[in-house]
Amino acid sequence: MPTEILMPALSPTMEEGNLAKWLVEVGDIVVSGDLIAEIETDKAIMEFEAVDEGVIGKILVPEGTENVKVNSPIAVLLEDGEEMSDVSGSPEPLAQQPQEDATPKVALIADNPVSVAPFALGGRVFASPLARRIAAEKGLDLSQVSGSGPHGRIIKADVVAAKIGALPSASTSQITTAPTAMTSDAVIKLYQNRKTVEVSLDGMRKTIAARLTEAKQTIPHFYLRRDINIDALMAFRAQANSQLETRGIKLSVNDFIIKACAMALQSLPAANTVWAGDRLLQLSASDIAVAVAIDGGLITPVLKNVEQKSLATLSAEMKDLASRARSKKLAPVEYQGGSFSISNLGMFGIDNFDAVINPPQSAILAVGAGKQKPVVGLDGDLSVATIMSVTLSVDHRAVDGALGAQLLGAIVKNLENPIRILV
């Protein structure tokens, strides 16, 4: 019977996406793993792979269509022996299935979204021809196999897994959003006598709103603040850049901040943790996420193993990640994970601010602008220095106050004595 290809959930928080481009046409033969479309999520443009084999019988959603709901049909795949005329209209075999049984649910398995649903409807087991052939060869009862294809359809991977006694399993995770104080209708009514322009929320803005609301409601934040004298850092950076100019390398202050945070986490392993609900996960490497402003929102690419990399390597890697982030070309592995984030608004003239923790990470450093300020030295003399204010937001479930203070102290020490981060 014809099989609907559904709009995939390409990230745990994705609710809808834009069908940017079809990579196949009606009549093309596809097998599991073939690239069939490019999907624009709230953060990136990603390639969508087929999970089954067959012939593209009908494309239901044209490329360029925006705001396509996750799990809504976007194309129809024909099995062996089926004709193109079988899908001349809406695919009736699927449309006639009971809605309550056919609706897929989004599940998260090791951060990878999959579609799961009942494997049979009306007593019939749905499986691809290849899956049926393999099952027959191995003497497997398909009614005992869980399907991970569209609408819970059994595909080759399910049968292979069943053969070795490792049936795929999934636990459905439901994401709920806490109600706001006022409904949208109530807000609109409140301002009905004022001139307004209604701006629709895109996928990125919806995701940012949901995640930050969740973070502030569920994470017990506490805040630690320090002023940092960065005169030595600025002099060290100027000297380094003069030496690196012939290689076309120019280090930014942010490059030093990234490295300083990574080395601080190495010196305090207990702070290099993420919250995992009923336990903590302590990371060995310093994986640092850095907030990058893009059109319509922000994204936090993650620099991996920062403690092992030179400043020049980090600078080049950060520039590459930021560039691809702005063109939405990052893969999920490049913006997920990490135990620590940095958000720098100094270039916008912001003196200081408090940043919201990016779960499941345990801390984020908010960096303000470096400004000339009067300071009193240890000898009591008054002088002028370049002072940069920072605020460390910490998850109190994972890191206590004293440990958080030690972490911020190590960051300050590394930035006020930049030679420390090179040895």
Half-sphere exposure of residue 138: CA atoms within 13 angstroms, side-chain side: 19
Among the candidates 143, 163, 183, a domain finishes at 163
Which of 136, 160, 396, 401 is catalytic? The answer is 396
As for how many domains the chain has, the answer is 2
| Per-residue pLDDT at 378 | 83
Range 256-280 average pLDDT: 94
Residue 108 and residue 256 in one domain: no
Which pLDDT band, with edges at 50, 70 and 90, does 368 fall under? very high
Domain assignment of residue 285, yes or no: yes
pLDDT in tens, 161-189: 775 444 444 333 333 444 446 788 888 88
The rounded mean pLDDT for the chain is 81
Range 140-153 average pLDDT: 72
Instruction: Express as a percent the part of the chain with pLDDT over 90.
Output: 41
Residues whose CB falls within 8 Å of the CB of residue 364, separated by 6 or more in sequence, listed in order? 340, 341, 342, 343, 355, 356, 357, 358, 392, 393
Domain assignment of residue 344, yes or no: yes
pLDDT in tens, 81-140: 666 555 544 444 343 333 333 333 333 323 333 333 333 434 456 666 667 777 777 777
Q: Where are the alpha helices (DSSP H) in 277-355?
A: 311-326
Residue 361 sits in which domain range?
220-422
User: Residue 54 to residues 5, 28, 29, 33, 83: CA-CA distances in angstroms?
Assistant: 11, 8, 6, 12, 11
Domain assignment of residue 76, yes or no: yes
Domain assignment of residue 173, yes or no: no
- Residue 125's domain is classified under what CATH number? 2.40.50.100
pLDDT at 309 over 90: yes
Specify the higher pLDDT residue, 124 or 235: 235
Domain assignment of residue 196, yes or no: no
Task: Output helix, strand, coil percentages for the chain, rounded to the nearest 5.
Answer: 35, 30, 40
Residue 30 and residue 141 in one domain: yes
- Residue 380's domain is classified under what CATH number? 3.30.559.10
| Per-residue pLDDT at 230 | 95
Cα separation, 102 vs 119, whole angstroms: 10
Among the candidates 163, 191, 206, a domain finishes at 163
| 221 given a catalytic annotation | no
Which pLDDT band, with edges at 50, 70 and 90, does 282 fall under? very high
Instruction: Express as a percent the part of the chain with pLDDT over 70.
Output: 81
Residue 50 and residue 139 in one domain: yes
Judge whether 367 and 350 are in contact, CB under 8 Å: no
Residue 296 and residue 388 in one domain: yes
